[in-house]
Chain A
Amino acid sequence: MELMLNLIINGLATGMLVFLLAAGLTLIFGLMDVLNFAHGGFFAWGAFSAVWLYSLSGSFFVAIIGAIATGIMLGIFTEKIIIKPVYGNHIQQILITLGFMLVLTEFIKVVWGPNQMAAKTPEFLTGSWELGNVILIKYRVFIIIIALIVYSMVQIALKKTKIGLIVRAGVMDKEMVQALGINIKKVFMFVFIVGSAMAALGGALIAPYSGVVYAEREWNMRFWLLSSLL
């Protein structure tokens, strides 16, 4: 029974990380009809920038915010330069975003070198709680809590705000949204940035979870595929 509970907690923590990746990918595909293979690259950049910022500042909070900011900047750049010219063409989207993912992965080696980087868990999140015979690893509980907060925020934004209404309407009928006087391209940009930031946050959270980050395509692709399947 204890083993089962431990496995559930572990599974939930991994699932929540995949959720952070998948939610952004789903929003981007659902609204913009864009197949973004570079999404795994945002995830990797989030992980590396968080590890780097944590080693520089010593603050996990700064590392997380920095990773989100990295995701936002990458999102803006990617949408404006990479995605904009290929709206409506899936083949071109697959080719250019797959290529961009390779660029992002290789560029990590340029910035942080080709070697693996150790990712430390912040002290206040190391160790575990014992509830009877059940061991709750603090960092995994933290991931679950953060992902639940992000999930609630996304739900509130989609259901209770005007921009959320527009995003939901845009998924159903982009033309009609424009005919109601709404600049759908700005909404696209916003959604892309949110999706990218969520992927980067996922990367920042997984770094201490796996203990090490490395700039290999397989690492990015594994999470891209997982989130796509989800």
Chain B
Amino acid sequence: MDTMLKVENLQTYIGQYHILQGISFQVKKGEVTVLLGRNGAGKTTTLRSIMGLNPPSQGKIYYQNVSIEGLPTYKIANLGIGYVPEDQGIFKDLTVEENMKVAMKKQDAETIDRLEWILQLFPDLKKFWKKPGGLLSGGQKQMLSIARAYLNNNQLLLIDEPSKGLAPIMVEKVMDSILEMKKETTIILVEQNFMMASTIGNQFYIIDDGRTVYSGRMSTLKEDEQLKRKYLGIA
């Protein structure tokens, strides 16, 4: 299977703090790669470094065999990488429609069809189409954020903790939508909810203290109680 993204020995500082101290992983095309680890391990910073929001000081990032570290964020996004941040990044004073319009790069028939398909996947967005993004519930904001990142036929989606703060019913809805998108898109998922991560994920990498410390197929992690206890604090 083709490699979509390859990260080699990524090192990132935020101010004086050395947050990422050696992150390496590969993302295979058509798969969901899950980054796991405790709070503060460096998962979010890894996604932000890939997007160029916290540019790495060392290391390499190859996207479809092209080196992208050091590029400005907008160029990285225009290569076909969509980003759903932890705080969802909704423009709260803009309506749902306007949030989608800001993201829309082209207004061709393909994008319009895609938008229709997205609105079928997230019917709540159609219902609140003219409402400001700030008035949506947490789950609806998450749907809007995912929909926005998915609108432009991005080949790779970086999704940061989509289940955070959501009620179980909303977690299920978000999970179903990601499973649907998985059919067409490669995804890197940062997720603390192990049930969600193990249902969606194909490959996992465990990050601890800014380093990738373990990796494998998700099916093996499900059965490895010792590993789950050691790095994830679950059994």
Chain A residues with a Cβ under 8 A of chain B: 162, 165-166, 168-169, 172-173, 175-184
Cβ–Cβ < 8 Å partners of B92 in chain A: 172
> Complex formed: what's the CA distance from A176 to B101 in Å?
14
A contact residues around B103 at 8 Å (CB): 180
Assess whether B102 is in contact with A166, with CB atoms less than 8 Å apart.
Answer: yes
A165 to B148, CA, bound (A): 15
Given contacts A162-B102, A175-B53, A179-B73, 16 further A-B contacts (CB under 8 A): A162-B101, A168-B93, A169-B91, A172-B93, A176-B91, A178-B53, A178-B73, A178-B74, A179-B74, A179-B77, A179-B89, A180-B77, A180-B102, A181-B74, A182-B74, A183-B74
**Chain B interface (Cβ within 8 Å of chain A)?**
51, 53, 72-74, 77-78, 83, 85, 89, 91-94, 98-99, 101-103, 105, 148, 152
A193 to B18, CA, bound (A): 39
Residues of A within 8 A of B99 (CB): 169
Q: Is the CB of A173 within 8 A of B89?
A: yes
Closest to A179 in B: B83
Q: How distant is the Cα of A61 from the Cα of B92 in the complex, in angstroms?
A: 41
Give the CA-CA distance A180 to B85 in the complex, in Å: 11
> What are 24 A-B contacts with C-beta separation under 8 Å?
A165-B94, A165-B98, A168-B93, A169-B102, A172-B94, A173-B91, A175-B53, A175-B73, A175-B85, A176-B89, A176-B91, A178-B53, A178-B72, A178-B74, A178-B77, A179-B51, A179-B83, A180-B148, A181-B74, A181-B77, A181-B152, A182-B74, A182-B102, A184-B74
Q: Which chain B residue shows the least CB distance to A175?
A: B53
* B102 and A181 form a contact (CB under 8 A): no
Cα distance, A184 to B77, chains bound together (Å): 13
B45 to chain A, nearest CB (A): 14
Question: B85, A169: Cβ atoms under 8 Å?
Answer: no
CB distance from B66 to the nearest CB of A (A): 16
Q: In whole angstroms, what is the CA distance A55 to B91 when docked?
A: 48
Query: Chain A nearest CB: distance from B133 CB in Å?
Result: 9
Residues of B within 8 A of A166 (CB): 102
- What is the bound-complex CA distance between A168 and B93, given in angstroms? 8
- Identity of the chain A residue whose Cβ is nearest the Cβ of B151 in the assembled complex: A180
> Assuming A180-B77, A180-B148, A181-B74, is B105 touching A165 (CB within 8 A)?
no
Name the CB-closest residue of A to B134.
A172
Q: How far is the CB of A160 from chain B (nearest CB, A)?
A: 11
Q: What is the distance, in angstroms, from A30's C-beta to the closest C-beta of chain B?
A: 12
**Docked CA distance A165–B105 (Å):** 13
Q: How far is the CB of A189 from chain B (nearest CB, A)?
A: 14
Residues of B within 8 A of A184 (CB): 74
- Please name all residues of chain A whose beta carbon is closer than 8 Å to the beta carbon of B105 when the two chains form the complex: 181
The answer to whether A165 and B72 have CB atoms under 8 Å apart is no
Residues of B with C-beta under 8 A to A172? 91-94
CB of B72 within 8 A of CB of A179, answer no
Could you say which residues of chain A place their CB within 8 Å of the CB of B148?
180
**A162 to B93, alpha carbons, bound, how many Å?**
15
State the CA gap A173–B85 with chains docked (Å). 12
Asked if A183 meets B72 with Cβ closer than 8 Å, knowing A165-B102, A166-B102, A178-B77, the reply is yes
Residues in B with CB closer than 8 Å to A176 are 85, 89, 91
Complex Cα–Cα for A22 and B73 (A): 31
Residues of A within 8 A of B74 (CB): 178-179, 181-184
CB distance from B22 to the nearest CB of A (A): 25
A175 touches B72 (CB 8 A): no
* B101 CB contacts on chain A under 8 angstroms: 162, 165
Give 8 closest A-B pairs by Cβ, nearest first. A176-B89, A181-B77, A178-B73, A179-B83, A181-B78, A169-B91, A180-B103, A183-B74
